[in-house]
Amino acid sequence: MKKSLADRIEQYIKVLISRSEDKSIEIQRIELAETFACVPSQVTYVLSTRFTEKDGYLTESRRGGCGFVRISQFSCPYSEGFVDNPPLFQIIDELKQSKLLNEREAEMIKYISINSCRDLPYEYKIKVSEGVGKALKEYFAY
């Protein structure tokens, strides 16, 4: 079975990342497009759909003449970062069990924590999660 262009671009990038020491690469969209004889928007499509935080990748791009795309692979114990962050949720659940929070308050804090960070990069989500957990502990002298 013949692979699609998007599949081939994805595989190529994954090989480059796996061969790098720090699991991070910098590439130029135009060079990658030339390598695969396609338009740069095809490369952009692959990057935006196959190299996401959910898939374990951080991408940073700069457009223009000296533009680049930096792709870093990370290992994350939680598939979607903040949403499934057990340390924060564990603190909230313990506060609920201790009767310091009721069910509604606990769910509201979880909802606000998740939704206020929806568009942030993964590393910021973790910092916010840690900050919320610390603030809850301080507030309740936990």
Angle, helices 86-97 vs 122-139, to 10°: value is 20
CA atoms of 130 and 102, how far apart (whole Å): 21
- Residues paired with 27 in a beta bridge: 69
Q: Give the contacts of 81 (CB within 8 A, at least 6 positions apart).
A: 53, 122, 125, 126
The correct answer on CATH 3.30.56.130 for the domain covering 5-73 is yes
Q: Give the contacts of 105 (CB within 8 A, at least 6 positions apart).
A: 96
- Domain-wise residue ranges, the chain: 5-73, 81-139
94, two tokens: 């313990």
Q: What is the pLDDT of residue 34?
A: 94
**Beta carbons of 9 and 46 less than 8 angstroms apart:** yes
Q: Please identify which residue in the block is written with the tokens 């610390």.
A: 134
User: Could you report the average pLDDT of every consecutive run of 10 residues in the chain (142 residues)?
Assistant: 89 94 90 94 92 80 77 59 65 91 87 80 83 91 74
Q: What is the pLDDT of residue 111?
A: 80
Cα torsion 131, 136, 139, 142: sign: negative
Q: What is the dihedral of CA 10, 15, 18, 19, to 10 degrees?
A: -150
Q: What is the pLDDT of residue 86?
A: 64
CA atoms of 118 and 97, how far apart (whole Å): 27
Q: What is the pLDDT of residue 78?
A: 38
Number of residues assigned to the chain? 142
Q: What is the pLDDT of residue 141?
A: 85
Name the nearest CA neighbour of 82 among 51, 52, 122: 122
